[in-house]
Amino acid sequence: MIWGVLQFPGSCDERDALHACEVATRELVSGGGGPADDVSGRGGGTSPAAPIDRSRLVWHEETDLSGLDGIVVPGGFSYGDYLRAGAIARFSPAMTAVAEFAEAGGPVLGICNGFQVLCESGLLPGALLTNESTRFICRPGELIVGESDSPWLAGLEPGEKLSIPFKHQSGRFFAPPEMLDRIEANGQVAFRYAQGQNPNGSLNDIAGVTNEAGNVLGLMPHPEHAVDPLAGGTDGLKIFRGPARTAGAAGA
C-alpha cells in the first residue's frame, strides 16, 4: 500500500501521519508487528524499493496522485486557518486531485485540520465549529467505533473502544438537522466520543464521519499520534490498517 500524505503551508502533523502509514503497511507486509527490514528493502538490500518506501508527502501544488493507493489529509493549520479552518486549503491544486481520487473510490483520511478541509471541500458532510469552551484541548481520550461499512473500519467492531489523543480548537461537529438525520441513518458516523468525553460540544458526540460511499473518513482526534507503545498506545494503527489490509489482500 503506497500512501500519499498532503502537505500544505501550515500543516504540522504530516510526518507523524506518514510514519503511521509506514508502520501500518510494514506491519501488514511482515504479517504482524515485527521488524520487516528484509521485506521493506530497508537496511542495505539491492532490491527495488518496496511499496512502504514509496509512501511520500504530497506538496499542495502537486496534481498527480498516480501510483498512490491511499491519501491522508493531515492536521495542522493549513494556510494559517485564515477565514475558516480548511477554507483556503480546499482550493489547492492537490485537493482537486484528491476529490477525483475520492470520486474514483480511493481511500482518503482527513485528520483534524484534514477533516475540516474535507468538510469545506464537500467531500464530507457537516462543518467543524470552535469548541464550545473556545479553548484548545490536548489530552488522551476514547472513541467508540460506529456502525459503518467504511473500509477504514475494516477489522474494527462496532462499539469497540479506542484510545486516541484529542488535540484541537475547532472540533465541534455540526450539521443542520436534516443532514444530521441522514448521516445517522446512512451509517456514516464512524466514531463517537466515549460517554462523558465529548470535548467540544459536537452534535450526537460525533468525532468522525464518512461520505456515503464510506471511502472518505474524517475525524477530529489524532490516530497518527497513537502508533507506538512508547507514546501512549497503538490504537491509532487500527484505523490505518483498514485500507492497508484491503490493498494487501488484493495483492498490492
Residues at the site binding other proteins, with contacts judged by CB under 8 A:
83-84, 87-88, 91, 120, 126-127, 129-134, 172, 174-176, 179, 201
CB of 119 to other proteins, least distance (A): 8
Active site residue 224: yes
Decide whether 46 or 134 has the Cβ nearer to other proteins: 134
Catalytic residue among 14, 27, 142, 224: 224
CB of 99 to other proteins, least distance (A): 14
Active site residue 138: no
Strands 189-193 and 137-145: antiparallel
CB of 223 to other proteins, least distance (A): 25
Decide whether 171 or 214 has the Cβ nearer to other proteins: 171
Cα–Cα nearest to 8, from 54, 58, 55? 58
For residues 242, 245, 251, 252, the Cα torsion angle rounded to the nearest 10 degrees is: 50
Q: Residue 5 pairs with which residues in a beta bridge?
A: 57, 72
Decide whether 30 or 130 has the Cβ nearer to other proteins: 130
Catalytic residue among 60, 168, 222, 225: 222
Cα–Cα nearest to 242, from 158, 151, 178? 151
Catalytic residue among 60, 112, 142, 168: 112
Contact by Cβ (8 Å): 146, 168? no
Decide whether 63 or 133 has the Cβ nearer to other proteins: 133
CB of 106 to other proteins, least distance (A): 24
CB of 129 to other proteins, least distance (A): 6
Decide whether 15 or 84 has the Cβ nearer to other proteins: 84
Question: Torsions phi, psi of 37, nearest 5?
Answer: -60, -35
Active site members = 112, 222, 224
